[in-house]
A = this chain, B = another copy of it.
């Protein structure tokens, strides 16, 4: 190995499997969705969030929060989806800065057509082979790592200030 204190063999195996399973799953689902419905996974996620919204529309920043996307990424993506007539922008009367994002009729049709096969595929590849315990283990594990990421990010933001405060 190249690095000083690398991972144990078991840890390395786990890490590689984790990265590989994500790469494989997302590339497989992207390809399937693309072929069957002409949508990317990202398109699909945007549309599901809009379809689930009360009026079928959301403020851009709400959509961004739900997807956990940066503003810029969302804006670029919506521009591309707009060109394909999947979503529409609507003026927001309450806030001159803001904009609503709305699913077009075409968009809704495409989503409805795409959903069953996609859900079936997630079911079959991931969850059908998972017992109750594994499901809980996976959730706990992911949420723990997410919590550690949050803590770490928070620490970075506060540390410089705290240091100056202490000196």
Contact = CB atoms under 8 A, between A and B. Distances in A.
Contact of A2 (B10, B19, B21, B51): B51
28 contacts: A1-B52, A2-B112, A3-B115, A3-B119, A5-B116, A5-B120, A7-B123, A10-B136, A11-B127, A14-B135, A14-B142, A17-B146, A18-B138, A19-B22, A20-B146, A21-B149, A22-B22, A25-B145, A25-B149, A28-B149, A124-B152, A125-B148, A125-B152, A130-B144, A134-B137, A137-B137, A137-B141, A138-B141
Interface residues of A, number: 57
A143 interface: yes
A68 interface: yes
A25 B145 CA distance: 9
Interface of A: 1-7, 10-11, 13-15, 17-25, 28, 48, 51-52, 68, 111-112, 115-116, 118-120, 122-127, 129-130, 134-146, 148-149, 152
A42 to B, nearest CB: 11
Contact of A116 (B4, B10, B23): B4
B7 A119 contact: yes
